[in-house]
Amino acid sequence: MRPFADRLIEAVRDYGPLCVGIDPHPSLFPQLFGKPSAGAIAVWADGIIEQAAGEVACIKPQAAFFEIWGSAGMAALEHVCKTARDAGLLVILDAKRGDIGSTAKGYADAYLGENAACPCDALTVNPYMGLETLTPFVDTSAANGRGIAVLTRTSNPGAADIQELEVDGDPIYIRMAREFHAAGACLKGQTTSWSGMMLVAGATAPQEAREIRHAAPDNLLLVPGYGAQGAGAEQAVAGFVPVNGMLEGGVVNASRSVTFPQAAQTATTVESWSSSIHDAICLARDDLLKATRLSSI
Amino acid sequence: MRPFADRLIEAVRDYGPLCVGIDPHPSLFPQLFGKPSAGAIAVWADGIIEQAAGEVACIKPQAAFFEIWGSAGMAALEHVCKTARDAGLLVILDAKRGDIGSTAKGYADAYLGENAACPCDALTVNPYMGLETLTPFVDTSAANGRGIAVLTRTSNPGAADIQELEVDGDPIYIRMAREFHAAGACLKGQTTSWSGMMLVAGATAPQEAREIRHAAPDNLLLVPGYGAQGAGAEQAVAGFVPVNGMLEGGVVNASRSVTFPQAAQTATTVESWSSSIHDAICLARDDLLKATRLSSI
């Protein structure tokens, strides 16, 4: 398979940087789809995918909300990943896995391997156990045209507890961004200069995103925190840089604002629900596209 | 359910601190059980549980080696957790989950909730996203007599990249150990003074384990790195303290040395395999029991 960085950035050039988060919160699950269950969330996610396909570059399913339903939920997650990829969407699985050696290799094989049980295009990874623990994820990705997205500076207040601590004058997220840049060199694209070693950099901290961009100039960003979590489109693309007249450099995730918009939550027919989802996706997509047009800033 | 700290330490007083790691590495899977698959690893794990029950306090399944097999692997994991608990063993699931707010609550519900799809007694948690991200795990555990084991100072070389960095004169793992101590107060036992907010502190760093014990005096330790990873029994219990004439303060995990001993790998009958597993478990258990006897040091 072609490098993930090339596949992702080509899709972003076609559709803009919106990534649709698939987070089936039980407490937000619309009545229209019945009581939440593994089967019900699969049907709901199929509906989201149908509206997202041909409109956006990628989706990001959140593993936790599938794991709640145990093995049946994991079957639903496999279904969602396969359905989305068959529909031409790239899939970034948000599972924040991380472990040592052969255990990390197990996670990499499960989601990024040639014969992955749950095949995704990229996987979010937690680097707390150190750089060596990224190697199995990077190597498996390089061999199979996949990517990873490493937690760098997350969008929640708790980021201050470890990620923002200063060591030798630099916050840890900047030290790590430099290391991730070096460690991900083998995930560089062939037709673009971007690397598929993505960095997770929250939209709620645009200045920090610019510093991360400086430390890791060719790493695509995965930006959470846009929309319901409070950041606007211009904040969300703060770590992007001009390429061919557009700001480019990653994808921006929206979950609640595009999958649980008010109009969809109260919809009484699948048609009106689908239409509300489609509207919400296109609204967020266009909002981000506008922010990436150089003439707009 | 009674507090996890009480249930675990009572079992440790009966059987010693050995925790049997259930890590079905595909590359180590014994020929006797056929080609590795979700079903084959469940049968293999049932055999380990049969030999561990009545001999040790707890088991620690490694989620990655089940996730390799997708939803079928998760069904095998659920089976293993239920079988072990029915056999009287406590189950510490090693899945190193971690995320923000409602997502963390999703993981907590999946493994520690009252109606968990995959019910465990405790779950390993990655704290890199900050202290607030532990709250859903702690609250769910407190409500259901469960516990968590937070990565504090792991046993791999990469621990140096973040966990050992010094901030204001203290390594991060010591700063975090103090915070975990405070954050886990509601997981204290009723019949013991230990807390079910366990700290993961690798056996390969005994001096660091003693410093962690000083920073977090009532937190039970989950100690990886004993056996195949290189540390001996006395190193492994370095963070334990004298209680009623024995060293006490956590559990020590052994995986490869007790589940893939040479004699078991070449066994040609289930009886000889079972006997080799039983011997290896009892050898490690007695090695650790000896190291916890105060007269031995």
pLDDT at A238: 96
Token readout for A45 is 């996610």
Name residue A123's beta-bridge partners: A93, A148
Reference B181, options B168, B197, B166, B193; nearest CA is B197
Q: What is the 3-state secondary structure (H, E, C) of A34-77?
A: CCCCHHHHHHHHHHHHHHHCCCCCEEEEECHHHHCCHHHHHHHH
Interface residue B199 vs chain A (CB under 8 A): no
Token readout for B109 is 């519900």
- Per-residue pLDDT reduced to its tens digit, B135-144: 999 999 999 9
Average pLDDT for A140-150 = 98
Interface residue A170 vs chain B (CB under 8 A): no
Give residue A230's pLDDT band: very low, low, confident or very high (50, 70, 90): confident
Q: What is the least distance, in Å, from the CA of B135 to any CA of chain A?
A: 11
Token readout for B271 is 């009886």
A69, pLDDT greater than 90? yes
Name residue A60's beta-bridge partners: A21
Residue with tokens 């014994």: B30
A229, pLDDT greater than 70? no
Interface residue A230 vs chain B (CB under 8 A): no
Containing H/E element for B170? strand B170-171
Measured between CB atoms, which of A130, A155, A162 is closest to B160?
A130
Q: What is the least distance, in Å, from the CA of B215 to any CA of chain A?
A: 17
The residue of A99, A138, A163 whose CB has the most chain B CBs within 10 angstroms, and thus the best one to mutate to test that interface, is A99
pLDDT at A139: 98
**Residues of B with CB below 8 A from A69's CB?**
117
Cβ <8 Å between B75 and A73: no
B296, pLDDT greater than 60? no
**Residues of A with CB below 8 A from B21's CB?**
none
What are the two backbone dihedrals, phi and then psi, of residue B207, each rounded to the nearest 5 degrees?
Answer: -65, -45
Average pLDDT for B34-61 = 98
pLDDT at B229: 64
Interface residue A162 vs chain B (CB under 8 A): yes
N-terminal to C-terminal alpha carbon distance within chain A: 37
Interface residue A33 vs chain B (CB under 8 A): no
Residue of B nearest to A133 (CA): B158
Token readout for A11 is 């899709």
pLDDT at B135: 98
Average pLDDT for B177-189 = 97
Residue of A nearest to B109 (CA): A68
The residue of B161, B163, B174, B253 whose CB has the most chain A CBs within 10 angstroms, and thus the best one to mutate to test that interface, is B161
Average pLDDT for B41-65 = 98
Residue of B nearest to A22 (CA): B103
Q: Which amino acid is at B197?
A: M
- Per-residue pLDDT reduced to its tens digit, A251-285: 999 999 999 999 999 999 999 999 999 999 999 99
- Of B82, B96, B105, B290, the active-site residue reads B96
**Residues of B with CB below 8 A from A78's CB?**
70-71
Cβ <8 Å between A131 and B158: yes
Interface residue B234 vs chain A (CB under 8 A): no
Of the listed ranges A17-21, A128-132, A215-219, A226-230, the one predicted with least confidence: A226-230
Name residue A20's beta-bridge partners: A59, A254
Which DSSP string do the residues of B121-153 spell out, in sequence order? SEEEE--TT-GGGGHHHHHHHHHHT-EEEEEEE
Residue of A nearest to B38 (CA): A117
Residue of B nearest to A174 (CA): B162
Residue B69 sits in a domain whose CATH number is 3.20.20.70
Cβ <8 Å between A64 and B132: no
> Using an 8 Å Cβ cutoff, are B158 and A176 in contact?
no
Average pLDDT score, chain B: 96
pLDDT at A155: 81
Interface residue B133 vs chain A (CB under 8 A): yes
Reference A263, options A250, A252, A279; nearest CA is A279
> Using an 8 Å Cβ cutoff, are B98 and B127 in contact?
yes
Average pLDDT for B162-168 = 96
- Per-residue pLDDT reduced to its tens digit, A85-119: 999 999 999 999 999 999 999 999 999 999 999 99
Interface residue B23 vs chain A (CB under 8 A): yes
pLDDT at B231: 87
- Of A35, A60, A82, A96, the active-site residue reads A96
Task: Please report, to the nearest 10 degrees, the dihedral formed by the alpha carbons of residues A275, A277, A282, A283 taken in order.
Answer: 110
Cβ <8 Å between A130 and B158: yes
pLDDT at B294: 84
The residue range of the domain holding A110 is 4-296
Cβ <8 Å between B130 and A72: no
Q: What is the 3-state secondary structure (H, E, C) of chain A?
A: CCCHHHHHHHHHHHHCCEEEEECCCHHHCCHHHCCCCHHHHHHHHHHHHHHHCCCCCEEEEECHHHHCCHHHHHHHHHHHHHHHHHCCCEEEEEEEECCCHHHHHHHHHHHHCCCCCCCCCEEEECCCCCHHHHHHHHHHHHHHCCEEEEEEECCCHHHHCCCCCEECCEEHHHHHHHHHHHHCHHHECCCCCCEEEEEEECCCCHHHHHHHHHHCCCEEEEECCECCCCECHHHHCCCCEEECCEEECEEEEECHHHHCCHHHHCCCCHHHHHHHHHHHHHHHHHHHHHHHEHHHC
Average pLDDT score, chain A: 96
B75, pLDDT greater than 60? yes
d(CA A67, CA A74): 6
pLDDT at A63: 98
Average pLDDT for B241-265 = 96
Average pLDDT for B15-44 = 97
The residue of A74, A93, A135 whose CB has the most chain B CBs within 10 angstroms, and thus the best one to mutate to test that interface, is A74
> Using an 8 Å Cβ cutoff, are B227 and B258 in contact?
yes
Token readout for B85 is 């608990």
B297, pLDDT greater than 80? no
- Per-residue pLDDT reduced to its tens digit, B91-142: 999 999 999 999 999 999 999 999 999 999 999 999 999 999 999 999 999 9
Cβ <8 Å between A127 and B126: no
Residue of B nearest to A100 (CA): B156
Average pLDDT for A110-130 = 98
**Residues of A with CB below 8 A from B132's CB?**
156-158
A296, pLDDT greater than 70? no
- Per-residue pLDDT reduced to its tens digit, B186-217: 999 999 999 999 999 998 889 999 999 999 99
Q: How many folded domains does chain B comprise?
A: 1
Measured between CB atoms, which of B102, B128, B132 is closest to A128?
B128
What are the two backbone dihedrals, phi and then psi, of residue B141, each rounded to the nearest 5 degrees?
Answer: -65, -45
Q: Is B96 a catalytic residue?
A: yes
Name residue B209's beta-bridge partners: none
Residue with tokens 């939550």: A265
Measured between CB atoms, which of B110, B128, B172 is closest to A67?
B110
B55, pLDDT greater than 80? yes
What are the two backbone dihedrals, phi and then psi, of residue A249, each rounded to the nearest 5 degrees?
Answer: 145, 20
Share of chain B above pLDDT 70, in %: 99
Residue with tokens 């359910």: B1
Token readout for A164 is 């923002």
Containing H/E element for B111? helix B101-112
Cβ <8 Å between A130 and B161: yes
A216, pLDDT greater than 90? yes
pLDDT at A177: 98
**Residues of B with CB below 8 A from A159's CB?**
129-130
